[in-house]
Amino acid sequence: MKIYLDVCAIQRPLDTPSHLRIAIEAEAILGILALCERGQIEIVSSDALVYEVRRNPHPVRREYALAVLALAKEHLVISKDVEDRANSLVEREGFKPLDALHLAFAEKGKVEYFCSSDDKLLKRARRTKDLAVKVVTPVELAEELER
């Protein structure tokens, strides 16, 4: 099974657990990464993920996220079809450009699940009818993986 974790999800374990939701999602991500390290699932990386992670001004968060991305068995590179799909998601569905690019990469990589803890992205994705990937929270992904 292939999954795409956006940067919000990747870095969730580093967030201050000031709310129960953050703590639960952090544990879910750590469990998902453990499954990846055991070879039970695959995470997919992309040029957009590397770009976003490298822009992070916090060295600990940046290095942690790069280490997570290093677990990926597959790295997707930008292409015209990915750009076109991302532009379509921005124009027709109102996604932020970087979010749209992540979704386009996930579709290109034929991943089963796109995982995010970004509420605005999740809400917009759930209203979008033609996404070729299931968009889930870290907890929803953990529950799916347990089935």
pLDDT confidence of 147, banded at 50, 70, 90? confident
Nearest residue to 102 via CA among 117, 115, 120, 119: 115
Other C-beta atoms lying within 10 Å of the C-beta of residue 84: 11
3 φ, ψ (degrees, to nearest 5)? -130, 155
Nearest residue to 9 via CA among 99, 100, 86, 118: 118
The predicted-structure confidence for 71-86, as pLDDT tens digits, reads as follows 999 999 999 999 999 9
Q: What percent of the chain is predicted at pLDDT more than 70? A: 100
- Average pLDDT, stretch 22-36? 97
Q: Name the residue ranges covered by the structural domains of the chain.
A: 2-146
Q: Residues with Cβ < 8 Å from 89, sequence gap 6 or more?
A: 95, 99, 100, 103, 104, 128
Report the CATH fold assignment for 2-146.
Answer: Rossmann fold (3.40.50)
**8 A C-beta contact, residue 107 and residue 89:** no
The pTM (predicted TM-score) of the whole model is: 0.95
